[in-house]
Structure 1
Amino acid sequence: MFDRIFFSKIDNAPLLVFRVFFGILITLESFGAIATGWVKNTLILPKTTFSFIGFEFLQPLPGPGMYFYFVVMGTLGIFVALGYKYRWSIIGFTLLWLCVYLMQKTSYNNHYYLLFLISFLMCFFPANTGLSIDAKHNEAIRSNTMFSYVKWMVVAQLFIVYTYASIAKLYGDWLDYGIIEILMRSRQDYPIVGPFLQQPWVHKTITITGIVFDALVIPALLWKPTRKIAFIIAIFFHLFNSIIFQIGIFPYLALAFTVFFFEPKTIRGIFFRDKNKNADKSITKPSKGNLFIVGCSLYLLIQIILPIRHHFIADDVLWTEEGHRLSWRMMLRSRSGKIQFKVVNHTSGSAHIIKLKDYLSKKQMRKIAAYPDFIWQFSQHLRQEHQAKGDSISVYALNSKVSINGKPLKAFIDPKVDLANEKWDHLKHHEWIFPSNHKNKTE
Structure 2
Amino acid sequence: MENKLKLLSPEVISQILETAFQWFVVVDRAAKIIYINDEYCRFLEVSREEAIGKHVADVIENSEMHLVMEKGIAQIAAPHYIKGTYMLPNRVPIIVDGEIVGAFGSVVFRDINDWKKLSSHVRQTMDKIESSSNQYRESFYHLSDIKGISPSIRKIKETITTIAPTKLPVLIEGEIGTGKEIFAQSIHSLSNRAENYFVKMNCSTIPKELLEEELFGKYVDNQSVKKGRIQRAEGGTLFLEEINELPITLQAKLLKTLQEHKVQPLGTEEEISVDVRFILSSNTSLAEMVRNKLFRDDLFYKIQAITLQIPPLRERIEDLTELIHTFLSQYSVEAGRRGIKIERKAWYTLQQYNWPGNVRELQNVLQAIVHLAEGDTITVDVLPLHIRQKRTTFSKNNNTLDEMLFQVEGQILQEYLNNEKDKLIIAKKLGISRSTLYEKIKKHNL
State TM-score, norm by structure 2. Answer: 0.24
Structure of greater Rg: 2
Q: From the two aligned structures, give the one with the greater helix fraction.
A: 1
Q: Which has the higher strand share?
A: 2
Q: Whose RCO is larger (CA < 8 A, sep 6+)?
A: 1
